[in-house]
Amino acid sequence: MKSPGPKISNESKWTRIPDEYRKLYIVCVLATAWALAFSGSSRAQETLTLRIGMFPNITHAQALVAANMSREGQGWFESKLGRPVKIEWLIYNAGSSAMEGIFTKAIDMTFVGPSPAVNAYARSNGKDIRVMSGAIRGGEALVVKGDEIQKPSDFRGKTIATPQLGNTQDVECRSWLIDNGIRVTLIGGDARVLPTANPDMLPLFKQGQLQAAWTVEPWVTRLINEAGGRIFHSDPDALTTVLVGSGVFLTEHPNLASSFNQAHAELTAWILANPTEARRRARDELTAITKREISQALVDEAWTRLTFNCEITVTPFEKFLAQAKQVGFLRAKINLQDLIWKP
């Protein structure tokens, strides 16, 4: 007689598992699924692209050095931010263009002069831009040709070049002339302030079409060495270059922005501790950007007029705001209390 076969149960193996183990299994499955989903999302965001603006000027020394490190595969910021990043260095020749890059979200941060930063802050009602750090003081000067100009009153009837209408040096120049009794207007006045791109200043200065220029390095040194210029006025403590961030970037990535600020300060310290290599890197980057050979002697001499300083307060911006109002470029009342970014 055949023995009876195994008893067939309508219960599945799952239903025979005790409740407490079933609950633990469900929790583990859900946790694993969540972890995998999060891991996949993290992998998709592992490399973040940061777009940073800069100018081909010695007064953007930190940017020149860092961009050269990026170019040579030894990225400073790429190794300092605590997560994989790709840095895209974007070249601008005017502060207004860099600020448009901020407004249109084409860049996340940029090195720029304080005057365009204040203008952008005012234009966006204090929403789209914040100053993250200082960078360079000095490195700019009012250069005159020959011996004809000996005192401020000698600027009457003269043409003075500045890099761009409304940029830091343009506002400073107009304000300084007014403070010294020289009436200047957009058209006419006792002296003519002529916005002129930096590369165009040199030939015009040589030809005598310009009697003076208020500009930045390396153009100050080039006007002196190549066109017979001499420094008439300079302020080594004048705030020349700052680091600014877009409101969107700072809101979405505050921790990354803080890390970038710290890395910027560390880079500045490295530059001060390694001036020879820093100057070499700045020269190499200027050569690569401009596609023309830049003399190391030119960079070395221009470098002596720079003061590296990452500290930042609202005080110099209040001065620029007052100057912009004095020369008629700003009229609205602007509160600068939120201009400086606070992590």
* CA–CA dist 303, 220 (Å, integer): 11
* CA–CA dist 151, 141 (Å, integer): 15
CB neighbour list of residue 334: distance below 8 Å, 6 or more residues apart: 118, 121, 122, 126, 321
Contact between 258 and 342 under an 8 Å Cβ cutoff? The reply is no
Can you give the pTM of this predicted structure?
Answer: 0.83
Per residue in 159-185, pLDDT tens? 999 999 999 999 999 999 999 999 987
Q: Which residue has the higher pLDDT, 62 or 42?
A: 62
What is the C-alpha R_g of the chain? 29
Per residue in 291-307, pLDDT tens? 999 999 999 999 999 99
Which range, of 102-106, 184-188, 216-220, averages the lowest pLDDT?
184-188
* CA–CA dist 231, 212 (Å, integer): 10
Q: How confident is the model at residue 15 (pLDDT cuts 50, 70, 90)?
A: low
For residue 333, CA distances in Å to 6, 121, 126 come to 91, 12, 12
Q: How confident is the model at residue 186 (pLDDT cuts 50, 70, 90)?
A: confident
Which range, of 15-24, 107-116, 130-139, 301-310, averages the lowest pLDDT?
15-24
Q: What is the mean pLDDT of the chain?
A: 89
Largest CA distance in the chain: 131
Alpha helix ranges (H) inside 76-155: 95-103, 114-123
- Residue 59: per-residue pLDDT: 97
Q: How many CB atoms lie within 10 A of CB 62?
A: 26
For residue 146, CA distances in Å to 76, 114, 177 come to 43, 31, 19
Task: Return the amino acid letter for 277.
Answer: E
Q: How confident is the model at residue 332 (pLDDT cuts 50, 70, 90)?
A: confident
